Chains A and B, each alone.
Chain A
């Protein structure tokens, strides 16, 4: 490895030894010196557009943006002075001049950098009239919205949408001023990944109904309310309560949900165990028939929409297996309803997901079982946290409880679904046992883990060499699709998650969300898996029970576990 050059700089009188080539902002942050930086996001290009991270450099005239200026040997940096304060104050006032505040109902209400800075610099947020009054609110399907009157033009959303390979958000000039608008091109549409939302510093994007409608599910009279929570929630929701990244909160999360007064709490990871079992079967089927390769995962609704809109030719390659919360919702309203002698019409299933695309997914007509929707509501991680706060439920102080029987006990395989590579690994565990009829001794498939945006692995199972690929961040799908075009037989099985990091980086996750935080969340999930006794999906006793007692014929399995896809037209 190349040896880093070490240099010394002085920030606010403090001597700091650091490696060459970093920005002032990074060095300051690493050393506990906070410089306000609004448009800066560690996973995106340096924009230098908010002009708040201003610093002085001794011996040089003027102010410099810490986000874009690299440290140099001997550099003496001052991060606070009357001139810096004045400049930051005025620029902040100008930022507020374009941002129509709606603080009472904002996804950043507890974590708003803008407001924090306004307090810190004691600015008058109303010095100017709001320039963007009356700017439009754009709806992105049933998934999320963009309130352009809150936009501060940092363009992070445009960059991330471009990075995702979608480019649906565009910069258009309207009357001498550029605005961010959804594309009117007939060849572009939003896939509902929600990455714009997690990269916006101004709260201009939010999930549909966030937070106005979060109490709706609790208000439905005469219903048996069942909550189910997604794999990744258990390691991320704590962030909203100041707990550390990646901490396993399964037990306290269950307690908190129960405090809402709901009837049952189940675990979507159990649904994942069903998804895995069916998906492994489907892969074996395809191997037997020697057709339909590669098989793509389909539990990410944004990826599915990407295929249905942008790559219709790949529709036959998507596994027909439903996503975990849809299967579990279906089981709640069939298997469990039957067992408990409840009319499925009286059950209200609420999924807590790290995702805004899941709000879109539950509206898909073809998922209905005998006319009812498997899932009635989707709340994001943020929405559930906000609901707790509103109901004065403090996640931190609760005693852990277990989720309810019979759909509350997942295997470790179901838990790692929340991280990139997790679906693949779960499927491989089951696939191995089902194909070889032997016990899997080495349970970890570490070769499919990692953070690389598009990675490949070859797995030898008896005489079969299974070639797999894993993609996260849908912009990285392009590369895999290109390789497949050149060689259609390159892979047997491909996992795609639209969000960078997989569901731990989803559009419904707590803010801020960046690659370091996502890594911690993923680490938390793999930790839970490693500590579980049950780590192979199809061996989950409830999976075995359902297959023995309830999944007695193919039609039932199909109606609960499988779906179909069709080409989609532009919706937005």
Chain B
């Protein structure tokens, strides 16, 4: 690693992926740069598919130059590479013109996302760009080794590219973007220090509720449920906080909504996710929760699902059942 090199800076600043998995960014960059191949790909993932999360849209609207700058840095860092910006349908329509203008003269292609939630997962995204069936690929090999059309591919979230450009200019102040939504007065996207506690984020954004509430943090579908006494911790996963008014929220219909969402959005490929989600949905329909059965399903979802979506399905249900249905 060369001194002053962007990868060294990413390591120094300890930037982690902002798509939710939190993987050290420099490791990915290094892996792709070092991989031996005649060409390589870079993908900016703006497929944002978690319900109630809209920070990528916010960034595309307000900081498109910085995002493109981040991609250009990647193009320069990785030899023989070309890039895709993978955009959710509505983002594609809204930002196409501007992004194309900014990317002019560079090997950057816009790609309109097909499919929904699952298509935001990095290997599904590869399938989408290649025009194949929208389902996750087995890992290993990882996209950094075998990605788009078999070539090493760097996939980063929109926000990650934004911060790469900030780090390159030495302007990174260890912040991140948080979406706050739900039963709040001041919904929106807020840039705040990444180590702020949830409570502080709600306070600073003028969103701390004065009624009985609970939260879903880390995504509007796969995020975990937190109670008011659990707010003294930073946000894990995707930077999203969803506030629910306890009195106005029926936990069962909330869970049914999630179950419907996952049932519709999953790829039905692996047993635990296909059959497990179906059984959760059945249980909720009957409004009869068999805790032992549920715990078995959670177990295989977490331990044996093929992709991160399946592995994460249990999080909201499990935390809700544990905390709200005592």
Seen from chain A, the residues whose Cβ lies within 8 Å of a Cβ on chain B are: 46-51, 54, 62-63, 65, 68-70, 83, 86-87, 90-91, 94-95, 97-98, 127-128, 131, 152-153, 155, 171, 176-178
Contact = CB atoms under 8 A, between A and B. Distances in A.
Contacts of B268: 153, 177-178
Query: Of residues B260, B264, B296, which shows the largest number of chain A Cβ atoms within 10 Å of its Cβ?
Result: B296
A95 B263 contact: no
Given A70-B140, A91-B271, A48 B306 contact: yes
Given A153-B268, A176-B263, A91 B274 contact: no
A128 B304 contact: no
A131 B297 CA distance: 16
Given A87-B299, A94-B276, A128-B279, A63 B269 contact: no
Nearest to B263: A176
Interface string B266-280: 011111101110110
26 contacts: A46-B138, A48-B138, A49-B269, A49-B270, A49-B271, A51-B271, A51-B300, A51-B304, A51-B305, A54-B303, A54-B304, A90-B296, A90-B297, A91-B272, A94-B271, A94-B276, A94-B300, A97-B279, A98-B275, A127-B293, A131-B275, A131-B278, A153-B274, A176-B260, A176-B263, A178-B267
B126 to A, nearest CB: 16
B303 A48 contact: no
Contacts of A127: 293
A131 B304 CA distance: 21
A48 B141 CA distance: 13
B271 A87 contact: no
Nearest to A67: B138
Contacts of A177: 263, 268, 274, 278
Contact of A171 (B133, B272, B279, B306): B133
B304 A87 contact: yes
Contacts of A83: 303
A94 B267 CA distance: 16
Given A48-B306, A51-B304, 4 more contacts: A65-B138, A91-B304, A94-B275, A176-B260
Nearest to B293: A127
A483 B92 CA distance: 43
Given A97-B275, A98-B275, A63 B304 contact: yes
Nearest to A54: B304
Contacts of B296: 90
A66 to B, nearest CB: 12
Main secondary structure of the interface of B (DSSP, over half): helix
Nearest to A70: B140
Interface of B: 133, 138, 140, 260, 263-264, 267-272, 274-276, 278-279, 293, 296-297, 299-300, 303-306
Contacts of B276: 94
Given A86-B299, A131-B278, A177-B278, A95 B304 contact: no
Contacts of B140: 68-70
Main secondary structure of the interface of A (DSSP, over half): loop
A117 to B, nearest CB: 13
Given A90-B296, A90-B297, A176-B264, A95 B271 contact: yes
A202 to B, nearest CB: 12
A83 B300 CA distance: 10
A46 B306 CA distance: 12
Contacts of B138: 46, 48, 65, 68
Contacts of A128: 279
A554 to B, nearest CB: 54
Contacts of B305: 51
Contacts of A178: 267-268
Contacts of B271: 49-51, 91, 94-95, 152
Contacts of B275: 94-95, 97-98, 131
Contacts of B279: 94, 97, 128
A54 B300 CA distance: 11
Nearest to A155: B269
Given A98-B275, A131-B275, A48 B300 contact: no
A397 B150 CA distance: 54
A69 B263 CA distance: 28
Nearest to A171: B133
B274 A87 contact: no
Nearest to A158: B133
A171 B260 CA distance: 20
Nearest to A63: B303
Given A63-B303, A91-B304, A48 B270 contact: yes
Query: Of residues A47, A70, A91, which shows the largest number of chain B Cβ atoms within 10 Å of its Cβ?
Result: A91
B299 A49 contact: no
Contacts of B133: 171
Contact of A51 (B260, B272, B297): B272
A541 to B, nearest CB: 57
Contacts of A131: 275, 278
Contacts of A68: 138, 140
Contacts of A63: 303-304
A160 to B, nearest CB: 16
8 cross-chain pairs, A with B, having the tightest CB-CB distances, nearest first: A94-B275, A178-B268, A51-B304, A68-B138, A90-B300, A176-B264, A176-B263, A90-B296
A51 B306 contact: yes
Contacts of A54: 303-304
B205 to A, nearest CB: 35
Nearest to B264: A176
A90 to B, nearest CB: 5
Nearest to B270: A49
Query: Of residues B140, B275, B305, which shows the largest number of chain A Cβ atoms within 10 Å of its Cβ?
Result: B275
A63 B301 CA distance: 11
Contact of A49 (B278, B293, B303, B306): B306
B263 A51 contact: no
A87 B303 contact: yes
A68 B136 CA distance: 13
A178 B134 CA distance: 12
Nearest to B306: A48
A448 to B, nearest CB: 35
Nearest to A72: B140
A63 B270 CA distance: 14
A46 B138 CA distance: 9
